[in-house]
Structure formats: C-alpha cells, structure tokens
Amino acid sequence: MSQYPSPVPPADSTGPRADASAGLRVGALALDTLLVMVPLFVVSALLFGESQAGDGGASLSLSGLPFLLTVLVAAVYFFACELAWGQTLGKRLVGIRVVSEKGPQRTAGQVLVRTLLRVVDGFAFYLVAFVAVLASPKNQRLGDMAASTRVVRTSR
C-alpha cells in the first residue's frame, strides 16, 4: 500500500464539493425530460390513451387512471435512481448527484421527501424550484431543504 494518497477520490468521498449550479440542475432536468419522461408519456398515451394523426399533425391524450399510473412510474424513476446512485440519467450526464447534508449517503426517507416535493417544486414548469435554487445559498430546491439534501458536482 502506498504512503501517498490516491489522486482520484472515491465516488462517494466525503470531502467538500461545489453545489450544483441552477444551470446544471436545469440541464439535468431537461435531459431527464427528453430522454425518459417524454418517451414514457408518449408510450403510455399510445398504449392507454387517445392518439390522432392526420393533416401533417399528431396529438396524444392521456387522462384518468392511466395518467396517474404514468405519473407514479415517473416518480418511481426519480426515487429509485436517486436512492440507488444519487443521480438520475440527466444528473449523471451533466455530472451532478444528490447527497445528504450530513455526508454522501442519502436515506430512503430523504429521497422520498425530495420525490414527493417535486409536486410543489414542479409548479409552473419547475419555476418554483428554479426560484428556490436561485434564492438558496446552497442552490437547494424546496425538496432539498425539506429533506436535508444538496445536489453537488461529481468529481470527474
């Protein structure tokens, strides 16, 4: 074993990291929306909703129980990814992750609170979350504040 420290810290190093900027957070959400949420809703609408195509246009409609189940699947995506890895696909692509304010490991309770508060943070196309991140000294949305979590840059 070497007496010199490794130049690359482990993925869940407890060292200080920079909080993710509002821009990185918006980018991660945009990627999650484009790569996961839009396909999920399109497939759900095609399978369980109504769709029309013609005259050079198309429309999809999803309502009732199929809509609620699709929203539940979307919530499970955020919950499962952030609990298991601390990041969704979008967060991974932009290089950010969710950590507890007490250290790198999140608890299931913390991730659940973050996920449930997406309902509030998501008002007006995530405008509530965006304003909260800009106003917070730690760039936290309301879900982060309630769950005692932060979103930080990963070491690349």
For tokens 């917070």, what's the residue? 136
Query: Does a structural domain hold residue 15?
Result: no
Query: Does a structural domain hold residue 113?
Result: yes
Task: State both tokens at 26.
Answer: 């918006």
Task: Write out pLDDT tens, residues 58-98.
Answer: 999 999 999 999 999 999 999 999 999 999 999 999 999 99
Alpha-carbon distance of 59 to 50, in angstroms, equals: 8
Q: What is the pLDDT of residue 7?
A: 42
Task: Write out pLDDT tens, residues 101-153.
Answer: 998 899 999 999 999 999 999 999 899 999 999 999 999 999 999 999 999 99
Local structure of 50: helix, strand or coil: strand
Query: Does a structural domain hold residue 17?
Result: no
Q: From the CB of residue 8, how many other CB atoms can be counted at a distance below 10 Å?
A: 9
Q: Using an 8 Å Cβ cutoff, are 130 and 26 in contact?
A: yes
Give me the number of domains the chain comprises: 1
Query: Does a structural domain hold residue 32?
Result: yes
List the beta strands (DSSP E) in the chain. Answer: 50-54, 57-61, 96-100, 149-153
Task: Write out pLDDT tens, residues 16-69.
Answer: 679 999 999 999 999 999 999 999 999 999 999 998 998 989 999 999 999 999
Q: What is the pLDDT of residue 156?
A: 61
Query: Does a structural domain hold residue 6?
Result: no
Q: Could you tell me the pLDDT band of residue 12, with boundaries at 50, 70 and 90? A: very low
Query: Does a structural domain hold residue 78?
Result: yes
Query: Does a structural domain hold residue 95?
Result: yes
Handedness of CA 103, 155, 132, 127 (dihedral sign): negative
Residues 6+ apart with CB under 8 A from 15: 9
Alpha-carbon distance of 60 to 33, in angstroms, equals: 17
- pTM value is 0.85
Query: Does a structural domain hold residue 41?
Result: yes
Q: Tell me which residue range forms the domain holding 133.
A: 22-49+56-153
